[in-house]
Amino acid sequence: MLIHAGASGVGVAAIQLAKRAGARVFATASSEAKLSRLAELGMDEGIEYTSSDFVAECRARTGGRGIDLVVDSVGASTLQGSVDVLAYRGRCVSVGDAGRTRAQSLDVSNMRPGNQSFTGYFLGAELLLSPRAHAMIARHLDDVAAGRLRVVVDRSYPLADAAAAHAYIEARLAFGRVLLVP
């Protein structure tokens, strides 16, 4: 499994859940320091994306096979690589656009011969339309309370300093969650 933006709040949770499910967990992050911290959460293979081609790295580290499941919260140009790195019958799940720009186009022509799939996921819709989403969140909260799932809070800012909190996140300095406190 490959998790993009491993040091994000979503990434930190996804790494732990994937490891708990028995996956070999790959993750991307913007620095070796972040990757080192992600290893403590269950990441097996870290890729520092600012100096490495994650598609080539994943292919090399899987003996050319590729990745079974990609969780892409970055979008934009990263999304094409997420599709290109899929193994036979692999799946790419798009969960966000943290890359701040949308992909102009997505070439899916190679997915059919590989029996691969692409899915979009938006938790907000699930919470409105699916009772099972509420049960899933409740289980995760129980796991946090019991210490089976760690929530990493990087920093807290008073609500009045929301602009500073956003600047911190946009500078890609955050590891885990950044909280705004009313």
Whether residues 97 and 137 share a domain: the answer is no
Whether residues 42 and 71 share a domain: the answer is yes
Whether residues 68 and 140 share a domain: the answer is no
pLDDT for residue 103: 67
pLDDT above 90: percentage of residues in the chain:
90
Pick from 67, 29, 66: nearest CA to 49: 29
pLDDT above 70: percentage of residues in the chain:
98
Whether residues 49 and 14 share a domain: the answer is yes
CATH number at residue 114: 3.40.50.720
Letter string b/e over residues 51-68, b meaning 16 or more CB atoms within 10 A of that residue's CB: eeebbebbbeebeeebbb
- Is 90 exceeded by the pLDDT of residue 168? yes
Whether residues 170 and 87 share a domain: the answer is no
pLDDT in tens, 11-37: 999 999 999 999 999 999 999 999 999
Whole-number Å distance between alpha carbons of 57 and 36: 17
Whether residues 85 and 28 share a domain: the answer is yes
Whole-number Å distance between alpha carbons of 175 and 8: 6
- Is 70 exceeded by the pLDDT of residue 93? yes
Whether residues 144 and 80 share a domain: the answer is no
Whether residues 127 and 53 share a domain: the answer is no
Domain encompassing residue 165: 152-182
Whole-number Å distance between alpha carbons of 173 and 151: 17
Q: Collapsing DSSP states into helix, strand and coil, what is residue 34?
A: helix
pLDDT for residue 105: 87
Whether residues 73 and 157 share a domain: the answer is no
120 pLDDT band (50/70/90 cuts)?
very high
Whether residues 79 and 45 share a domain: the answer is yes
Whether residues 14 and 24 share a domain: the answer is yes
Of the three residues 73, 102, 120, the one that is the final residue of a domain is 120
Domains of the chain: total: 3
Whole-number Å distance between alpha carbons of 128 and 53: 38
- Whole-model pTM? 0.93
